[in-house]
Amino acid sequence: MQIIPDKVPRHIAIIMDGNGRWAKQKGMPRVLGHRSGVKSVREVTEAAAQVGVEYLTLYAFSTENWNRPPAEVTALMSLLVETIKGEIRDLNKNGVRLLAIGDIEALPASTYKALMDGIEKTKNNTRINLVLALNYSAKWEILHATKLLAEQAAAGTLNPADINEELFENALSTRGIPDPELLIRTSGETRISNFLLWQIAYAELYFTPVFWPDFGKEELLAAIASYQNRERRFGKISEQLV
């Protein structure tokens, strides 16, 4: 797959979907699909770093995912703890800085602790930022930001007339992270499922039928190649773009 080095997105966000169906197709329990998904996370993170992506955001657990059967939720939380703890050495070896977005303080204590530990221990890495969206939903994030600003306004430290895009973005959990230029969703579903609604306002969308456990380097490069073939006009007309 031919990639144009100076047209690689700075930020790619991925809705990692299809673990359950991947497992079911193989006659295995859903949890094994999630376990197999970890391998894809490793491979895609490394491939993204190799081509120069600065931020890779992965949707790992949505606020809606709490509504799954309790056993699956518990298994996912354990897998998270186990994976974060087990990967810290390799993250450091590969220059990966771990970050998180979402209502992470509301995660089970052991998950929260493992996550904070991973973030702390990888904070000096600079090759790529791996942002995990955990207990995340875009509506939660936007409401949370709105409340923060409203509190400041009520306290008299913020003039509502001063609220602009930049100020609002600084109240989101993605503060400091550039908007994704490319959003990928695996598994054939063509919906956003409450992910990064503000930040993907101008993202290029890429949908693939491949289930997440089968998504790897080649699939990522294909998505980047598709992105590079698009004309991003931002409201202008073709002739205005140089």
Structure tokens at 235: 């409201």
The number of residues that bind Mg ion (CB under 5 A) is 1
Tell me how far apart the alpha carbons of residues 163 and 131 are, in angstroms, rounded to a whole number.
Answer: 26
What residue ranges bind ligand IPE (CB under 6 A)?
A: 15-21, 59-62, 65, 76, 187, 189, 191, 193
CB atoms within 10 A of CB 90: 12
Nearer to Mg ion, 38 or 163 (CB): 38
- Considering 17, 19, 129, 179, which one is annotated as catalytic? 17
- Collapsing DSSP states into helix, strand and coil, what is residue 171? coil
Residue 65 is a catalytic residue? yes
Question: Which residues have a Cβ under 8 Å from the Cβ of 37 and sit 6 or more positions away?
Answer: 16, 19, 212, 213
Concatenated DSSP letters of 110-167? HHHHHHHHHHHHTTT--SEEEEEEEEE-HHHHHHHHHHHHHHHHHTTSS-GGG--HHH
Q: Which of 65, 94, 125, 194 is catalytic?
A: 65
Among residues 12, 13, 17, 84, the one that binds Mg ion under rule CB under 5 A: 17
User: How far lies 31's CA from each of 35, 74, 110, 132, 206, in Å?
Assistant: 6, 10, 19, 19, 26
Q: Which is nearer to ligand IPE, 15 or 138 (CB)?
A: 15
Least distance in Å: CB of 141 to Mg ion? 20
Q: How far is the CB of 203 from ligand IPE (least distance, A)?
A: 16
Known active-site residue 170? no
Q: Categorise residue 177: left if φ over 0, alpha if ψ from -120 to 50, beta otherwise.
A: beta
Q: How far is the CB of 5 from ligand IPE (least distance, A)?
A: 29
Query: For residues 54 and 214, which CB has a smaller minimum distance to ligand IPE in the complex?
Result: 214
55 makes contact, choosing from ligand IPE, Mg ion, none, with CB < 5 to 8 Å by partner type, with none
What gap in Å lies between CA 178 and CA 169, rounded to an integer? 10
Q: At its nearest, how many Å lie between Mg ion and the CB of residue 189?
A: 7
Tell me the residue number closest to ligand IPE, measured at CB: 20
**Closer residue to ligand IPE in complex, CB, 9/213:** 213
Catalytic site positions: 17, 65
**Which parts of this chain interact with Mg ion (CB under 5 A)?**
17
